[in-house]
Amino acid sequence: MKLTRPDDNRNWRERWIAWRNRILADPGFQRFAVRFPLTRGIVRARARTMFDLVAGFTYSQTIAACVELGLLELLAAGPLAIEEIAARVDVPVEGTERLLRAAAALNLTQRLDATRWALGADGAALRGNGGIVEMVAHHRLLYADLADPVGLLRRGGGGGQLAHYWTYAERAGEGDGDDVAAYSRLMAASQPLVAQHIIDSYGFGRHARMLDVGGGEARFVRAVAARVPRLALSMFDLPAVGARAKAALLAAGLGNRVEIFGGNFLEDPLPHGHDLITLVRVLHDHDDAPALALLRAVHAALPPGGTLLIAEPMAGTRGAEPSGDAYFGLYLWAMGSGRPRTADEIRRMLRMTGFAESRIVPTALPLTVRIIVATR
Ligand SMILES: C[S@@+](CC[C@H](N)C(=O)[O-])C[C@H]1O[C@@H](n2cnc3c(N)ncnc32)[C@H](O)[C@@H]1O
């Protein structure tokens, strides 16, 4: 029997890829494939995907204009004539019509007759999710940095508008209050959807005391408080963010239910006495060395048998690949810190930092959030 060596496999794979790419790039093959009935459908679908890849920025900016002008909100109140819309958004009728038509092509608006327009199905869905709307507005910073993607890649990440937005955390809470407020607001607006998926997927009722590390404005803690009445709750974040969380909890009547710890998790020890520690959308914000330091700090704070729950979007998520390495990869690069990791990479880091075992807990919408639970 002839054994195949790993080198042979590699050669076969590389040769197959080179052959496939030569064929797909060949204009003669492309002409044939679009005319041949059995391949025509595939070619059309691939062409559409390719077009979306190339033109995606115009789609994003169409949504950005709708959000900035409050167009979706306006149409949510009911259909309007174009002159009325133009007057309300303060854009000439021609420009308004161009935008309405672009938005209709993206399913955000819908034409009713020659002059009247309504909210489209995806426009309604977008409006119902405050997190996405905040994210669209926030993308102004990301896209300013991405105007020169090669420059951004060459300078090693950060250094632009998004990084400035994030400075308060890098300087451990010394950034100005406006930065803290803007960032925390964005996180808080996008949190409810994430929180619901996490709470629907994992049984928090089996624990006695939970500490949410990097808890932001305590939105996640508040969502857990509402669904798991007997769980004692604490959160840890930078002091300036902790102060905002305290105010939000007081306003929600939860001032006594949640204990808040202010500190820097890369320098200060985490408080002990919790059988569950959660890291929600925190680990991917950090490069490998600080992420490992954070996991070690969590390990040190947990009792033997204690649980760490990591929840965030992950790279390599089947069906949501672009949101990991393409979106979060570039977002976090522009931010100047962190990277999206695959579930396997996170589990490897957990082993390196002493966690005996870990498992993936399925969620309903992995694009938004995935969960790994580890035992100390
Ligand atoms: C991406 S936000 C996530 C907030 C919240 N968990 C959520 O999902 O909405 C990351 C959080 O980690 C906090 N953080 C970042 N670096 C920190 C540090 N060194 N010490 C403590 N908290 C930190 C930030 O202030 C922020 O609230």
Question: For residue range 15-54, what is the model confidence (pLDDT) as tens digits?
Answer: 999 999 999 999 899 998 889 999 999 989 998 999 999 9
What is the largest distance, in Å, between two alpha-carbon atoms of the chain?
80
Q: How confident is the model at residue 236 (pLDDT cuts 50, 70, 90)?
A: very high
Q: Say if strands 357-361 and 209-213 run parallel, antiparallel, or are unpaired.
A: unpaired
Ligand 1 atom closest to the CA of 191, numbered from 1:
9
Ligand 1 centroid, distance to 70 Cα (angstroms): 30
Ligand 1 atom closest to the CA of 195, numbered from 1:
8
Classify 118 as helix, strand or coil.
strand
Question: Quick one: fold of 8-127?
Answer: Arc Repressor Mutant, subunit A (1.10.10)
Please tell me the predicted confidence (pLDDT) of residue 6.
64
Please tell me the predicted confidence (pLDDT) of residue 1.
54
Q: Is 282 in the pocket of ligand 1 (CB under 6 A)?
A: yes
Instruction: Give the closest residue (by CA) to ligand 1 atom 12.
Output: 214
* Over residues 124-146, mean pLDDT: 88
Tell me if 187 sits within 8 A of 193, measured CB to CB. Answer: no
Ligand 1 atom closest to the CA of 184, numbered from 1:
27
Residue among 187, 198, 233, 270 to mutate when testing ligand 1 (max atoms within 8 A of CB): 187
User: Where are the domains positioned within the chain?
Assistant: 8-127, 130-375
How would you write 168-203 as a 3-class SS string? HHHCCCCCCHHHHHHHHHHHHHHHHHHHHHHHHHCC
Domain 8-127 and domain 130-375, same fold? Reply is no
Please tell me the predicted confidence (pLDDT) of residue 176.
54
* Residue 312 clears pLDDT 80, i.e. is over it: yes
Ligand 1 atom closest to the CA of 267, numbered from 1:
19
Please tell me the predicted confidence (pLDDT) of residue 2.
56
Collect contacts of 68-74 with beta carbons under 8 A, ≥24 apart: 68/137, 69/99, 71/99, 71/100, 71/103, 71/109, 72/108, 72/119, 72/123, 72/126, 72/127, 72/133, 73/127
Contacts of 191 (CB under 8 A, 6+ apart): 131, 216, 217, 219, 220, 223, 280
Please tell me the predicted confidence (pLDDT) of residue 348.
98
- CA 357 to chain centroid, in Å, comes to 26
Residues 138-183 pLDDT 10s: 899 999 999 999 999 999 989 898 888 877 545 544 445 666 676 7
* CATH class of the domain whose range is 130-375: alpha beta
Tell me if 232 sits within 8 A of 255, measured CB to CB. Answer: no
Q: Is 216 in the pocket of ligand 1 (CB under 6 A)?
A: yes
ipTM: 0.99
pTM score: 0.87
Please tell me the predicted confidence (pLDDT) of residue 223.
95
| Amino acid found at 20 | R
* Over residues 92-97, mean pLDDT: 98
If we measure between CA atoms, which residue out of 190, 183, 202, 272 comes closest to residue 234? 272
Indicate the average pLDDT of the chain.
91
Percent of the chain with pLDDT strictly greater than 70: 94
Residue among 134, 185, 221, 237 to mutate when testing ligand 1 (max atoms within 8 A of CB): 237
Please tell me the predicted confidence (pLDDT) of residue 127.
86
